[in-house]
Amino acid sequence: VAQYSLGVQHELASALILTTQYVGNIAWHQNSNIPINNFPLSTPLSVRQAAATGKLSTLDTLNARTYPGFGGMNQITNSLTGSYNSFQVGLRQQNRHGLTFEVDYTWAHEIDDQVGSADLNTSTNPWNLKYDKGSGSLDRRHIVNINYTYRLPIFAHSGGLSHSILGGWEISGVVISESGLPWAGNNTPGGGYSDTIGLGGGYTNRPNLSGKPHYTKGKTTVGTNTGYQWVSNQGYSQPVAAWDGGPNLGFGSEGRDAVVGPGRTNFTTSLYKSFAFTERTRFELRADSFNSFNHTQFNAFNNTAANNNFGFVTGAQDPRTFQFGGKFIF
């Protein structure tokens, strides 16, 4: 892996810093598992069709493999690549009028041909490793990150009990807004169709996709299922089998990164204050909220293209949570 970056910082005003930078990397000779004991590509189409439809006996299946008599085998190779390129801009202010904040924006694109964007995952198509090339599982195209701390000015200059109880409070928080991840690796829409390849297994097919995915992004009823659907199976179809003249050995045309999942916007907020008893002893009281505005953030979907439930939401991030705490320091 080679990593590189170039950045420029400029002070716009006192304690106000603007930062811009390019950050990137490139990786090669990355690890992967490649199934090597499938049927050879010279296998007659009639045999492939029989294997795909379950009409080939177990013994015939073993004997038809590249290494006859053995089941599946994986070979660890170092043949995959990846890259990451990003433009980052940030604005940072340090403790001015009681306010410290930082706002960062990143545009990025991560590309690889590693299923799941991780080492030693099994490639989808052992005969064409570039079948899995696309936006990787770490590809969030847009990310905004804001963090802040603000000393509340209320009762800051008062005295006595009002200052001790009502003054000196601080609020801080983190805001994250980011675009969604591609459905890749194990999340790629697929399955539910018959085997259109017939080369003894050790591969994972994807469906054909005509045009671009159709995003519904709303409450939908399909058959007996009603719920929030992010994307429909409109345009998806079973690949054409190789013995019926299908291209690409019977693999589907849908890209590994065809569907981009929903983004996420999350607020974390804290309110806290220190109560001083003596010069050396004080009590800190704080309240924290996670997902402060209880914003729904979907994170899981049905990804079987041949299923009427395809694209329906099956999971979400945690709802709003409050946490209260105190600490005595002496």
Positive/negative CA dihedral, 270, 275, 281, 285: negative
How do beta strands 208-209 and 236-237 pair?
Answer: antiparallel
Two structure tokens written together for 103: 């706002």
Give the pLDDT confidence score for residue 156 in this predicted structure: 67
How many other C-beta atoms can be found within 10 angstroms of the C-beta atom of residue 85? 14
Best CA proximity match to 295, nearest among 265, 321, 263, 315: 265
Give the pLDDT confidence score for residue 82 in this predicted structure: 94
- For the chain, give percent helix, strand, coil, nearest 5: 10, 45, 45
3-class secondary structure, 76: strand
CB 237 within 8 A of CB 208: yes
CA distance 43 to 240: 18
Give the pLDDT confidence score for residue 88 in this predicted structure: 98
CB 220 within 8 A of CB 301: no
Supply φ then ψ for residue 114, to 5 degrees.
-105, 120
Walk along the chain (330 residues) and give the pLDDT tens digit of each residue. 999 999 999 999 988 999 999 999 999 999 999 999 999 999 999 999 999 999 999 999 999 999 999 999 999 999 999 999 999 999 999 988 889 999 999 999 999 998 888 888 899 999 999 999 999 888 999 999 999 999 988 776 666 666 667 778 999 999 999 999 998 444 455 557 889 999 999 998 989 999 999 999 999 888 777 889 999 888 989 999 999 999 999 999 999 899 999 999 999 999 999 887 887 888 889 999 999 999 999 988 888 888 888 889 999 999 999 999 999 988
Beta strands in the chain (DSSP E): 2-13, 16-35, 74-96, 99-112, 134-135, 142-151, 170-178, 208-209, 215-222, 225-231, 236-237, 264-276, 282-290, 298-301, 313-316, 321-329
How do beta strands 2-13 and 16-35 pair?
Answer: antiparallel
Name the burial class of residue 177, with classes exposed (0-12), middle (13-18) and buried (19+) by CB atoms within 10 angstroms of its CB.
Answer: middle
Name the burial class of residue 63, with classes exposed (0-12), middle (13-18) and buried (19+) by CB atoms within 10 angstroms of its CB.
Answer: exposed
Beta strands in 152-214 (DSSP E): 170-178, 208-209
The DSSP letter of residue 193 is: S
The C-alpha R_g of the chain, in whole angstroms, comes to 28
Give the residue carrying structure tokens 């105190």: 326
